[in-house]
Amino acid sequence: MIKFVIVDDDEKEVNHVSNLINEVTNDAKIISFAKISNDLKQEIENVDEHKVYVLDIQLANKISGIAIAKLIRDVDWMSEIIFITNHDKMFESTYRNIYEVFTFLEKFHEFDKKFKKAIRTILKRNFDNEMFKYKANGIDFNVYYRNVLYIFRDTEERKLIIVTPKNKYKVSMSIKEMMDLLDNRFVQCHRSCIVNKNHVEVKNYKEGYFILDTGEKVYMLSKMNRKLMEND
């Protein structure tokens, strides 16, 4: 599932774009915002989901979709950005490369056809979209495997903690139950820890730690699991 984030202060346009997305795929989660808000900023800062942003360049209160694109690219270079504009080609020539924009679409020039074509193209791309999905006891979240750094058991709360570059998620599962759900990029490197091998830069079995590509050093590396860690 891909999340679509629409930012437009025209409710009719939001409904129209949402309907076009649903015509292309029935596996989309669509949310919308009319302006820059704390909720939108929190959504942008959560980079654990791959998203498609559909941004109206001209918003009320002199706020531009360009400003929102800057907020997105400050933290997220994986998600796609589609700009919707009235007619000004200057925006395209200026900002396409700066913010790695997927496309600019004019509202009144075969918009429906071009928008649906853009969405189909995005959906056909070979994204690494494998995802861990969790829903229990009032907790509901999705995390892309590629964003998981490591998972460890919190001995006090007796829960697993899923660590990503931006967040930590608590789940009521055992290490074995978690391993059964993950793919082969994950290995159990310690009796209380699972690590995503793709994020490991240094392994020190003598001192029992690994260092991630984020710079974090984690003291949960066992010699017993060396063969698994080295089997890249």
Residue 225: pLDDT over 80:
no
CATH of the domain at 41: 3.40.50.2300
- Local confidence band at 88 (pLDDT 50, 70, 90 cut-offs): low
Residue located via tokens 């080609």: 89
7 and 117 in a single domain? The answer is yes
Answer whether 58's CB lies under 8 Å from 85's CB.
yes
169 and 112 in a single domain? The answer is no
Residue 132 lies in a domain: no
Per DSSP, the residues of 9-53 read S-HHHHHHHHHHHHHH-SSEEEEEESS--HHHHHHHH-TTS-EEE
- Cα separations in angstroms, 16 against 20, 23, 194: 6, 11, 44
Torsion of the alpha carbons at 170, 173, 178 and 180, rounded to the nearest 10:
-160
Q: How many domains are there within the chain? A: 2
73 and 164 in a single domain? The answer is no
98: amino acid identity, one letter = I
Structure tokens at 115: 């928008």
What is the pTM assigned to this prediction?
0.63
Q: What is the mean pLDDT of residues 172-181?
A: 95
Residue 40 lies in a domain: yes
- Local confidence band at 4 (pLDDT 50, 70, 90 cut-offs): very high
115 and 160 in a single domain? The answer is no
Residue 218 lies in a domain: yes
Residue 131 lies in a domain: no
Residue 231: pLDDT over 70:
no
Residue 174: pLDDT over 80:
yes
Residue 82 lies in a domain: yes
Residue 55 lies in a domain: yes
| pLDDT tens-digit map of 97-155 | 678 888 999 888 889 999 999 999 888 775 677 889 888 888 888 888 988 999 999 98
114 and 141 in a single domain? The answer is no
| pLDDT tens-digit map of 21-80 | 999 998 899 999 998 899 999 999 998 888 999 999 887 666 788 889 999 999 998 899
Structure tokens at 85: 């504009």
Residue 87: pLDDT over 70:
no
16 and 68 in a single domain? The answer is yes
